[in-house]
Structure 1
Amino acid sequence: MADAYFSLFTLIVLIPLALIAFVYFLVRPRPVKIPIKNRHVFITGGSSGIGLALAHHAAAQGARVSILARSRNKLEEARNAVRLATGIDVSVFAADVRDYDAVKRAVDEAGPIDVLLLNHGVFVALELEKQELSEVKFTLDVNLMGSFNLIKAALPAMRTRKDPQQPVSIALVSSQAGQVGIYGYAAYSASKFGLRGLAEALQQEVIADNIHVSLIFPPDTDTPGFAEENKRKPELTKIIASSSGAMKPEEVAQKTFDGIKSGSFIIPCNLEGIALSLATAGLSPQRSFLMATVEVLAAGILRIAGLCFQWTWYTSIEKWHNQRKAGSPQRS
C-alpha cells in the first residue's frame, strides 16, 4: 500500500515539479521588466486605429510619444486628439515606411527611442489569382520591408543609448493571420508570417544589448480600415473567419503594453489568440517558465484542436465550391 501511495505521489507531484524545474532551467531569455513612464515611445501607423490607441495609452502612462504615418493631416488630427484626452503633446513625423531615407530622417529627428512600436500595415483580402502582383508587392513592402527600414534606422541609437542597463523594446504588430493562413490572405499572411522570422532572428542579435523583441498578434480589430477591408473580402474568407470576434483598438493597446512591459516575446490579445500562440509556439523564445510548461503540456491537445479547425475550414471550402458547381446560392 505504501508503494502505491508513493507511486501516486510521484505521478501527481514529483514528476510535474521536476518538469517545471527543468523548463525553468531551459527558458531563455530570462524575464525582464521594461518601464514605459518617462521613456520615448515611437509608434508607426500612429494616426488612426490601433496606432492611435497605442499613442493614447503610452501618453497616459507618462511616456514621451512620437507617431509616424504618411498623412500630415491625419497626424495633426491624432496629435490634437491625444492632447485633448491626456494633456500630453506628441511629436509627429510624416513619412512612407517604404522609403528608408525618409524613415531615417524621422527617426534621427525624433531622437533615441526606448520603445519602437511597429504598427503600420496594409491589408486586402483577395484570392491570389485575382490580386494584382503590384498589390502583393505593396503589401510586402509596407508590412515587412517597412519594418526592416524602421528597425535598421532606429537600432544604432538604441544600441548606443546612455543607460544600457535600462532595457528597451522593439515591438512588431503582426496579426492572427501571421499565425495561421486563411483563405484570401495569401499576401497579407506572407507579410505577417515574415515578421515572426524577423522577430525571432532579431531577438538573438540584440539580446546582448538589453534590447527585447515582442510580437503582437491582434485579431480583427474594429477600426475604420477594417470596415473598408470587409467590403472586398471574399465570401469564403468571411465564412472561415466568422468564428473570430473583433476587438476594440483600446483593448489591443492595453494588451500590447502589458506584454511589452513584461518583455513577452509573443503577445496574444484574446483567448483565441492565447490558443493560437500555444499551438504555434514552435522555436520562439519564451520568458515565462509557467507559460513554457503550459506550451509543453498543451502541445498534443492543441494539435488535435488545430486539425479540427482545419477539418472545419476545408469542409466549408468544399461545400462552397460544390454549391457553385451546382449553381445553388452560396451559403455557410
Structure 2
Amino acid sequence: MSWMVLLAASAGIALVVAFLLLLYLASPLASPKPLSLSGAHVVVTGGSSGIGKSIAVECFKQGAFITLIARNESRLLEAKKEIEKYSINDKQVVHAISVDVSKDCADMERVLKQAQEKLGPVDMLVNCAGTSVNGKFEDLESSRFEQLMAINYLGSVYSTRAVVATMKERRMGRIVFVSSQAGQVGLFGYSAYSATKFALRGLAEALQMEVKPYNIYVTVAYPPDTDTPGFAEESKTKLLETKLISESSSVCQPDHVARVIVKDAVQGKFSSSVGTDGYMLTILTSGMSPISSIAEVLEAVILMGFFRFIGLFYIASFDSIVHRCMVQKEKSEKTD
C-alpha cells in the first residue's frame, strides 16, 4: 500500500513540475513586444536632476528624442546641455519645458501638445516629478499632505491625461510612474510621502486594465534610496528612526536605477525593482497586480511564503528601532 502512495505522490510531483516547466517555456508568449527607443519621443517629468535626469540620459543614449519637464528653469537648461552630450546622431533633440506639473491639468495638456507638435507623438511618458517630506504624522502641517499629493500623485495624473488619448489612437505607448520602496511598505516618518507613492500603484493598476487592449503598457518603478540631490536634502532633517531604518539597505546610484527602469519599461513590465530588497518587496506586494510573463507568477507562488517569513524579521527590527528611540527620548526628557 505504501509503494502505491509513494508512486502516486511521485507522479503528482512530476505532473506539477512538468506543468510549471510548460508554463515557464510559454512565458515569452505572454510578454509584450519591446518598445524601440531609437527615434522615439520620450517625455520625462522631474527631469532636471536625480533619477529623472538619468532616465533622460539613458533614453537619449538609445536614440530617443527627449522632452524634459521641470519647474526650475536654470537647472532644467543645465540638464538639457548635459543630456545633449550623449547624442548618438545629429538628429536627436532635447526639448526643455519649465512648468509645474501639479498646478493645472489644462496647462500640462497645452505644453505637451506643443511638445508633440515639435517632436511627434509621445511614445513613452516617465512621471518622475516628485518631492518628499520626513516627519511624524502629528508634527506635519495638513498643507504638507496636500502639497505632496498634488506633486507626487496629481502631477502624474495630469501628465498622463495629456498623452493617453493619442497613445490609444496610435495603439502603442509606455507610461511609467516612479513610485518608491516607501510606496510598497509604509515606514516611520513617511506618513505623508508613502501615501502618495501607494496612490500611484492604484492608479497604475486601474489604468493598465483600461489601456492594455490598446497595446499600451504601464510600469510602476519602486527605486530604493538613491544618491540624488533630493535625497541629500532630505537627509539633512531626516528623523533618527527613519535614518536608522533606511540604513538597513544601501544607497543606489541614479544611473543604475535609471537603466533598470528604462529596461523594464520598454519591455512592458508592470513592476520595476532594484536590488535584492526591491525584488523581495515586489514579490511580497504583487497581490492582484498585472503580470508580464508566466515566470513572474511562478516566482511569486514559490517565493511568497519564504519572503513573508524574512519580512517578519525586518518588521521586528524596525519596530525595535522605533521603540529604542522612544525610550531614549523619554529618558532624555526626564533628565532635562
Instruction: Provide TM-score, normalisation by structure 1.
Output: 0.91
Aligned residue type for 1:157: T
- After superposition, residues 153-192 of structure 1 pair within 5 angstroms as 153-161=162-170, 164=171, 167-192=172-197
Alignment partner, residue 143 of structure 1 = 152
Aligned mates of 2:43, 2:327 — CA distance in 1: 49
1:189-245, CA deviations, whole angstroms, 9 ceiling, x for partnerless residues? 000000000000000111111110000010011011110000111000011111111
Distance 1:28 1:280 in 2: 24
| 1:194 matched to 2:195 | no
Q: SS of 1:86's equivalent?
A: coil
Instruction: Assess if the C-alpha contact under 8 Å between 1:169 and 1:212 holds in 2.
Output: yes
Runs of at least 5 residues in structure 2 that lack an aligned partner in the other structure: none
**TM-score scaled to structure 2, two decimals?**
0.90
Deviation at residue 309 of structure 1 after TM alignment: 1.3
Contact 2:222 2:273 in 1 (8 A): yes
The offset of 1:14, in angstroms, is 2.3
Give, as a single letter, the amino acid of the residue that structure 2 aligns with 1:57. Answer: E
Would you say the 8 A contact 2:27–2:293 is kept in 1?
Answer: no
Measured after TM superposition, the shift of residue 85 of structure 1 is 3.2
2:85 corresponds in structure 1 to: 84
AA aligned to 1:97 is V
Q: CA RMSD in A?
A: 2.3
Give the unaligned 5+ runs of structure 1.
none
Match of 1:14 in 2: 15
Distance (Å, rounded) in 2 between the aligned partners of 1:25 and 1:54: 31
- Provide the C-alpha distance between the structure 2 equivalents of 1:71 and 1:199, rounded to a whole number of angstroms: 27
In the aligned structure 2, how far is the partner of 1:27 from the partner of 1:141?
Answer: 38
* Residue 298 (structure 2) pairs with residue 293 (structure 1): yes
AA aligned to 2:42 is V
**Counterpart selection for 1:274 from 275, 279, 289:** 279
For 1:131, give the aligned amino acid: L
Deviation, structure 1 residue 160 = 1.6
Conservation of the 8 A alpha-carbon contact between 2:30 and 2:293: no
DSSP 3-state at the match of 1:216: strand
Does 2:98 align with 1:97?
no
Deviation (angstroms), 1:41? 0.6
Report whether the alignment pairs 1:302 with 2:307.
yes
1:1-332 matches, within 5 Å, as 6-7=7-8, 9-10=10-11, 12-19=13-20, 21=22, 30-86=31-87, 88-98=92-102, 99-111=104-116, 112-161=121-170, 164=171, 167-327=172-332
Give the distance between the partners of 2:23 and 2:69, measured in 1 at CA.
44
